[in-house]
Amino acid sequence: MMKTRLSRLLSIFIVLLLLVSVVACSNDKEPEPTVEPTPTETAEPKETEKPKEEETLAPTEDVDPIVEYEGGLKDVYEDHGLIAGTCLAPAMIGSEKYTSIILENFNTITLENHMKPEAILDHKASIEAGEIIVKFPKDTIDLLDFAKENNLSVRGHTIVWHSQTPDWIFFEDFDTTKGKVDKDTMLDRMEKYIKRTFEILKELDYIDMFYAYDVVNEALLDNGSLRDSHWKSTIGDDYIWYAFYYADKYAPDHIKLYYNDFNEQFKTQAYIKLAKSLVDDDGEFLIDGLGCQGHLYTKDSIDSYISMLKSFAELGLDVQITELDISLGTWQQILKATDDNLKDQGKYYYELISRIIAENEAGNTNVSGITFWGFADQLSWRRDRSPLLFDAKLNPKYSYHGAMLNKDHAGY
C-alpha cells in the first residue's frame, strides 16, 4: 500500500517535472515565424472591410480628391468649338479599361503607327506588280473599324515622311541593292501611292470618317531648312509641293490637307514660308491646315506657343494641335514624376488649353481641335516622361483635371 502511494507520488512528481521543463524550453525558443498571408489575404479587403472612397482619398495636400465628371474632354471642348482626339494603337482597343476612357473623352482619333508608309506599302506585292502597291493590313483595318463602330472621326497620318517609310520605294525595281530611281519615276510612284490610299479608303467605306490628313510630316529642321530624306534626294526640294498637288487631286474635298511638324514654335517662320509656297497656278492654296504636334515640356514657354498660333492664324489656314503630350522638365533634363512636378504638369495643361480657348474666342487664333498623343502614360511612346493624362492605375492625373479645365484639381 505504502509502496503504491510512493510510486504514485513519484509518477506525479515526474509528470510535474516534465511539464515545468517543457514550459521552460518553450520560453527559450525563437519566436514562431509569421505565417505569410495567402494571396487572397493580400488582395483587396472584402467589400465590408473596404474603407469608403472618401475616406481613402480624403483631400489632403498631396492626394487629389475623386472628381466625378459628367462627360469627358470631348464634351468640355465641344462647348468651345474644339474636337478632342487621341492617337490609337492596337493595345488600346483590346481592353474595356482603355476603350471606356477613349469613348468617354474623345471624338476623333489618329492611328499612331498603322497608316504610316511602312504599314500600308506592300513590298512583295509591289515587286510582283512592278508598281507601288498600297494594302491595309489587318491591324489597320481593326483600328479603322473600331473608329467606325464608335462614330469617331479620323485624322490620316501620314503619307510623305522621312521616317517609318521603307527604303525600297526609292530604288530601281524596289530593290535597295540597285540605284535610286529618277525624279519622274519617283513622282509616278508618289502619285500612285497617294491615289491608291484615297481609293482604298473609299473602297473600304472609311472615307467619310476622315476629315484631315497629314500629307507631309516633319520635313523641316529646327533651323528652318529642309530635312534630308530619300524623298528630297529623288524628287528634289519641290517634293512637298508635289505631295500636296497629288493629295489635292485625289482626296475628296471634305478631307483637309495638313502639313504636320514638331518643334513648331521654333520653326514658325519656316512653316509659314512653306505653306505660302504650296499654291496652284491660280495662287490657290493646295494646303488646308497646319498641324502643330505639341510635344512639349513643362518648362517650355506657353507665351511662345500662343504667339506661334497667332502667327499661323494670320495665314487663314486651319490649325490643329495634333500630337499633344507634355513631358516633365526640359528635353535635356527630364524630371521625376514627383507630386510637385505632376502638379506643374497639371497647371501647364490647364494654362495652355485655357489660353488656346481664350485666344480662339477672341479671334486671335483658329485652333479647331486638340489631339493628345495617347491618354495613359504606360501606353505612351514617351512613357519615361509621364507626359499624359492617366497614371499606371488609369487614375486621372492633375494633367487630366487641367485638360478638363478644372482649375481646382489641376495642381494649383
Buried b (16+ CB within 10 A) or exposed e, 255-265: bbbbbbbbbbb
Euclidean distance between CA atoms 136 and 207, whole angstroms: 14
DSSP 263: S
- Of the residues 112, 218, 264, 359, which is catalytic? 218
167 CB burial (10 A radius; 0-12, 13-18, 19+):
exposed
Active site residue 44: no
DSSP 171: B
The three three-digit cell numbers of residue 263, written as one number: 518643334
| CA-based nearest residue to 352, from 305, 292, 408, 293 | 305
Euclidean distance between CA atoms 390 and 64, whole angstroms: 13
Length of the chain: 412
Please tell me whether residue 323 binds ligand G3I under the rule CB under 6 A.
yes
Query: If DSSP codes are grouped into helix, strand and coil, which group holds residue 351?
Result: helix
Please tell me whether residue 368 binds ligand G3I under the rule CB under 6 A.
no
Please tell me whether residue 263 binds ligand G3I under the rule CB under 6 A.
no
> How open is the CA angle 159-165-166, to the nearest 5 degrees?
135
Euclidean distance between CA atoms 379 and 46, whole angstroms: 31
- Of the residues 36, 61, 203, 323, which is catalytic? 323
Please tell me whether residue 112 binds ligand G3I under the rule CB under 6 A.
yes
Query: If DSSP codes are grouped into helix, strand and coil, which group holds residue 58?
Result: coil
Looking at the Cβ atoms of 11 and 163, the one nearer to ligand G3I is: 163
The mark string for 379-408 relative to ligand G3I (x by CB under 6 A, - otherwise) is --x---------------------------
Please name the residue that has the C-alpha cell 487614375: 395
To the nearest whole angstrom, how small is the minimum distance from the Cβ of residue 222 to ligand G3I?
A: 14
To the nearest whole angstrom, how small is the minimum distance from the Cβ of residue 322 to ligand G3I?
A: 8
Please tell me whether residue 163 binds ligand G3I under the rule CB under 6 A.
yes
Please tell me whether residue 293 binds ligand G3I under the rule CB under 6 A.
yes
> Which positions from 172 through 201 interact with ligand G3I, judged by CB under 6 A?
none
Active site residue 218: yes
To the nearest whole angstrom, how small is the minimum distance from the Cβ of residue 356 to ligand G3I?
A: 20
The three three-digit cell numbers of residue 164, written as one number: 517609318
To the nearest whole angstrom, how small is the minimum distance from the Cβ of residue 327 to ligand G3I?
A: 12
Size of the site for ligand G3I (CB under 6 A): 8
Looking at the Cβ atoms of 87 and 134, the one nearer to ligand G3I is: 87
The mark string for 54-93 relative to ligand G3I (x by CB under 6 A, - otherwise) is ----------------------------------------
Q: Which residues are catalytic?
A: 218, 323
* Contacting residues toward ligand G3I, per CB under 6 A: 112-113, 163-164, 262, 293, 323, 381
